[in-house]
C-alpha cells in the first residue's frame, strides 16, 4: 500500500491520515474533571446496563475451561481500547459486545433451561433494557428538545432555502463547520475533500471539550499545506453555496468565525452574496448564479 501511494507522490498524505492524525486525535488534551464526568455519564451507565452479562460471564468459567481465558483477554483488550483519549463514547464499547456475549452464553443457557429465578432474569433484563432504551430514544429524538444536534430542524431549513434559491446547472456545497448533515440533507456534493474542516485546518479536535472551549492551544495541529489544498479545491469546484455555521455555535464552531481565516473570508465575501441567516447559520450563494432572483436576506 505504501509503495502504491509513494508511486503517486502521496506517501506523506498516507502517513499523515493513517498515523500522525490518528495519534494526535488519540492524545486528546482532556482535563481530569472532564474525564471523570465522561466516565460517570457514559461508562457507568453501560456497566449498570450490562451487569447481568458480566455476572453470567464470570459464572461461565467452569463451563468454558481454557476458552474463558481467551475470551477474557479479548474483552480486556476491547475494554482498554475505550480508554484511549478518555473520550469514553458509547460506540467505543461496541468491540466488547462479542467476547462478553460469548463468555456469558453457557451459564445463560443453563439458566434458561432451569427456568428458575436466573432464567427469568435472563429473559426479563433484556426486555427491561429494550423498553428503557426505546422510551429514552423517543424522548431524545421526538421530544422536541433536540438533545442530539442531528435532530435539529436547521439542517432541513437551510436545505429548503438552497432549493428555493437554485444556482442552475450542477451545484456543489461547502460547509464551514462540523456539520456534514447539510450535505446529506441538501443532496449537494461536497465542494472539497475537507467535508469536515477539523484539526489540520482549524485546530478543532472532535470529542475534546477542552479544545472546543479554547482551554488548550491546538494551533500546532494546523497544517498550512492543507489550507492550500482546501483553497485549491474551492477554486476548482466553485461551490454554488457556502454554509457558515460559526454564528450559530453549532457543534462548538463559534470559535472559528470566517474572520479568523482571511483566505476563506476573502473567497466567500468577494464571490458570494448572503442569502439568509437561518437559526444562526449563514447561507451564501455564488454571485454569478443563474438561478433566478436572489431571495431577500
In a domain, 122, yes or no: yes
Write out pLDDT tens, residues 59-76: 999 989 889 889 999 999
Domain end residue (candidates: 77, 111, 142):
142
Provide the pLDDT for residue 281.
95
Domain end residue (candidates: 80, 111, 142):
142
Is residue 177 domain-shared with residue 154, that is, in the same domain?
A: yes
In a domain, 296, yes or no: no
What mean pLDDT comes out for the span 38-58? Answer: 90
pLDDT band at 294; cut points 50, 70, 90: low
Is residue 84 domain-shared with residue 170, that is, in the same domain?
A: no
What residue numbers bound the domain in which 67 lies? 31-142
Is residue 138 domain-shared with residue 243, that is, in the same domain?
A: no
In a domain, 9, yes or no: no
What mean pLDDT comes out for the span 7-34? Answer: 89
Cβ atoms of residues 161 and 295 within 8 Å: yes
Question: For residues 44 and 55, what is the distance between their CA atoms, to the nearest angstrom?
Answer: 16
What mean pLDDT comes out for the span 3-14? Answer: 94
Number of residues that make up the chain: 297
Identify the residue with better confidence: 154 or 212.
154
The structural domain count of the chain equals 2
In a domain, 3, yes or no: no
In a domain, 230, yes or no: yes
- Residue 224, pLDDT > 90, answer yes
Amino acid at each position: 500500500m505504501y509503495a502504491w501511494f509513494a508511486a503517486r507522490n502521496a506517501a506523506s498524505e498516507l502517513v499523515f491520515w493513517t498515523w500522525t492524525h490518528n495519534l494526535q486525535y488519540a492524545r486528546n488534551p482532556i482535563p481530569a474533571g472532564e474525564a471523570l464526568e465522561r466516565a460517570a455519564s457514559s461508562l457507568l451507565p453501560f456497566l449498570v446496563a450490562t451487569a447481568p452479562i458480566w455476572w453470567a460471564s464470570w459464572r461461565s468459567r467452569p463451563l468454558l475451561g481454557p476458552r474463558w481465558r481467551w475470551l477474557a483477554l479479548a474483552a480486556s483488550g476491547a475494554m482498554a481500547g475505550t480508554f484511549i483519549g478518555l473520550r469514553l463514547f458509547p460506540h467505543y464499547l461496541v468491540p466488547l459486545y462479542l467476547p462478553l456475549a460469548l463468555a456469558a452464553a453457557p451459564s445463560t443457557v443453563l439458566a434458561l433451561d432451569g427456568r428458575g429465578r436466573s432464567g427469568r432474569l435472563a429473559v426479563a433484563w433484556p426486555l427491561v433494557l429494550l423498553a428503557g432504551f426505546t422510551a429514552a430514544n423517543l424522548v431524545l429524538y421526538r421530544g422536541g428538545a433536540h438533545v442530539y444536534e442531528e435532530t435539529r430542524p436547521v439542517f432541513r431549513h437551510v436545505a429548503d432555502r438552497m432549493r428555493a434559491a437554485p444556482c442552475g446547472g450542477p451545484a456543489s456545497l461547502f460547509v464551514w463547520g462540523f456539520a456534514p448533515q447539510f450535505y446529506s440533507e441538501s443532496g449537494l456534493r461536497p465542494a472539497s475533500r475537507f467535508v469536515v474542516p477539523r484539526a489540520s485546518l482549524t485546530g478543532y479536535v472532535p470529542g475534546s471539550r477542552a479544545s472546543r472551549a479554547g482551554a488548550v492551544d491546538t494551533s500546532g495541529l494546523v497544517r498550512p499545506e492543507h489550507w492550500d489544498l482546501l483553497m485549491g479545491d474551492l477554486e476548482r469546484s466553485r461551490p454554488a453555496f457556502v454554509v457558515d455555521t460559526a454564528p450559530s455555535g453549532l457543534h462548538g464552531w463559534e470559535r472559528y468565525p470566517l474572520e479568523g481565516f482571511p483566505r476563506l473570508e476573502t473567497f466567500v465575501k468577494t464571490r458570494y452574496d448572503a442569502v439568509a441567516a437561518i437559526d444562526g447559520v449563514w447561507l451564501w450563494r455564488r454571485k454569478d448564479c443563474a438561478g433566478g432572483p436572489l431571495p431577500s436576506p
